[in-house]
Chains A and B, each alone.
Chain A
Amino acid sequence: MDGSRGVAENLTPGTAVRRESHASGQPGSAVRREWQRFTAGERLARFAVYFFVVAAFVLSLGTVEVIPEFLWDAPAQVQDLLVRMWPPDYAHYPASVHAALVETLHMATLGTVIAVLLAVPLGLLAASNVMPSRTVNTVAKLALVTSRSVNSLVWALLFIAVFGPGALAGTLAIAFRSIGFVGKLLGEALEEAHRGPVEALKASGAPWPSLLVFGYWPQVKPAFWALVLLRWDINVRESAVLGLVGAGGIGVALNTAMNLFQWDRVAVVLLAIFAVVIVAEVVVTWVRGRIL
C-alpha cells in the first residue's frame, strides 16, 4: 500500500500540471505536458538579439569602404615590408631602444599601482552587496564607465595637453584607463562572493570593516590578484603605443623609426616589444601560480 502510494506521488511531480487538471474539473485527466527551454518573452528577446547582430553585420559589410584591390596586393606588400625589416638594426637597441623599453615598464607598473589604489574604493562602492545604496552604486559605476569609455590614447592626449609630452602623461593615462577595468571586475567579483560566510560573520556581530576583511577579501583575493596581473599585462602592451602620440615609452622610438621609414629599426623595436610582452606573460603566469 505504502509503496504504491509513493509511486503515485512520484508520477505527478509538476505542480503546474496538477493545478491545471484541477482547473479543468477533471482530476485524473491527462494533460499534455510540454517542455520548452525558454519562455515566449525570452525567445523573443533572443530573436531580437540575433536579428540585431545579423542586421548590424550585413549593414556594416555592405557599406564599409574597403578597396578589394588592396587585399590582392597585400601579400606582395607584406613581403616588401619583411625584406625592408630584415636584418633588424640591432645596434640601434642599446643606442635608443633600451632606455625607452625600461621607461615603458615603469609606466605600466606605476600606472597599475595608481589605478589599483583608486579602483578598490570605487569597486567596493559599486558592488551592490557590499554597498546597499543604489545611488552610490550608480555613481561609482558611472565613474568606472567614464574611465573605461575613454581610450588610453585619448587619456594620453589629454594628459599631454596638461603635463606636456613625456612618461608622466603616459603613466597617468595608463592609470586612468585601468581604474574602470579593475574597479568593474573587482565589483563583479565582490558581487559573486558567497553570502554564507559573510552572513555567518554578520551573525557573530562583526562590524562592517571586519566583514570586508574576513568575509569578502579571502573570497575575492585570488580574483583580485588575477585581475591586477591581467591589467598589468595589458598595460605593458598599452604603454608601448602611447609613445605614438608622444606620451613616452618605447612607442616614441617606434614612431621616430616609422616616420623616417627606417624599417630595420622598426623591426628592432617590434622585437623588443615582443620580448618584453613575452617576459611579462611569463612573469604573470609564474606569479599567478604562486599566489592562487
Chain B
Amino acid sequence: MSEAAAGTGAKARSAGSAAPAAAAALELRGLQKSYVRGKPVLRAIDLSIAGTGLTAIIGPSGTGKSTLIRCVNRLVEPSGGQVLLDGEDLTALRGRSLRLARRRIGMVFQEYNLVERLTVIENLLCGRLGHVGALRAWLRRFPPADIDRAFELLDAVGLADFAKTRADALSGGQRQRVGIARALMQQPRLLLADEPTSSLDPKTSVEVMELMRGLCAQRGIPVIVNMHDVELARRFAARIIGMSGGRVVFDGPATALTDEHLKQIYGGEGWLA
C-alpha cells in the first residue's frame, strides 16, 4: 500500500502500459472546471493514482472534491485538462465510448442513490446495465453469471438475507453496502466514492469504510474517496490528498499529515482539539 503513497507526484506514465498494476490507473492532467466563467472550482489538478490502495481526498466544503470525482467519470463535464484511465483520455469520449469507459469506473454516492423501489438484488444488477441491453434488463433476463456474482457480493457485504427486500426498507448502512456491491458488480478498474460515510453514524461509517477497503484490496481495485472526516481518512487511507480553493495543497501518505497541513487545508486552528 505504501507504493501508492510513493507514487505521489509521478506524472509521466511508466513505459509498458500493458501491465496496469504497475502503471497509474488514473491520471489527471491539468484538470480544470468552472461552473461560472471566471470562477474556477478546480484549478489545474495534476494527480495520478496507482496501485490498489485507498486514496482519500479531504478539504473544506465547496472546495471542489465532489466536482473532481465527478469529472473523472464525466458526470460533471471538465472545462479543461485530461482524465486518463489506463492511458485512455476520457475527456475526448462521446456517446457510446463514454458509456463503455464509465463501465470501468464504479461509483459510490453520499446519498446511496439506490433505486428505492427495486429490490436489493435488482439494485446490484443495475451495476451490469452497461453490459445488458435494456429489453433484457426490463424482462429481468440477466446472464446467470451476473446473478451468481450478485449473490456472491451480497454474501460479501453481509446482506445475503436481504436479496428480495426493497431498497427503501434498508437502513443507511445497509443501503451503502448495497451501493458498494452495485459498484463492484461493474468489476471496475477504479472505484470512486463521493463522501460515502457522510450520511452514516460513526460506527457504521467505520464498518462501511472497512468493507470498501477490504473488498477493493481483495480485487485489486484502487479507490478514491472524498471525505469530511479527517480521522476516518487517516485510519483508512494509505494516501491523503488535501484540497483547498480548487488546488491540491497536500499529497502524501496518511502518516505525513500533520496539524500544520490541516491548518493549511481548512484554515484557522480553533477547531483543532
Contact = CB atoms under 8 A, between A and B. Distances in A.
Answer whether A and B touch in the complex at a CB cut-off of 8 Å. Answer: yes
A212 B270 CA distance: 49
Interface string B167-187: 000000000000100110010
Given A200-B126, A203-B73, A204-B182, A219 B101 contact: no
Interface residues of B, number: 38
Interface string A186-212: 000000000011011111111101101
A214 B102 contact: no
B115 A205 contact: no
Contacts of A207: 96, 99, 129-130, 133-134
A148 interface: no
Given A5-B270, A207-B134, A221-B117, A201 B109 contact: no
B129 A210 contact: yes
B116 interface: yes
A218 interface: yes
Interface string A220-235: 0110000000000000
B169 to A, nearest CB: 14
A84 B182 CA distance: 70
Interface residues of A, number: 24
Interface in A90-148: none
A219 to B, nearest CB: 7
Interface of B: 73, 75, 96, 99-107, 109, 111-118, 122, 126-127, 129-130, 132-135, 137-138, 179, 182-183, 186, 192, 270
Interface of A: 2, 5-6, 196-197, 199-207, 209-210, 212-215, 218-219, 221-222
24 contacts: A5-B270, A196-B112, A197-B115, A199-B113, A200-B107, A200-B114, A200-B126, A200-B179, A200-B182, A204-B103, A204-B127, A204-B183, A206-B130, A207-B130, A209-B133, A210-B129, A210-B130, A213-B134, A213-B138, A214-B115, A214-B122, A218-B115, A218-B117, A218-B118
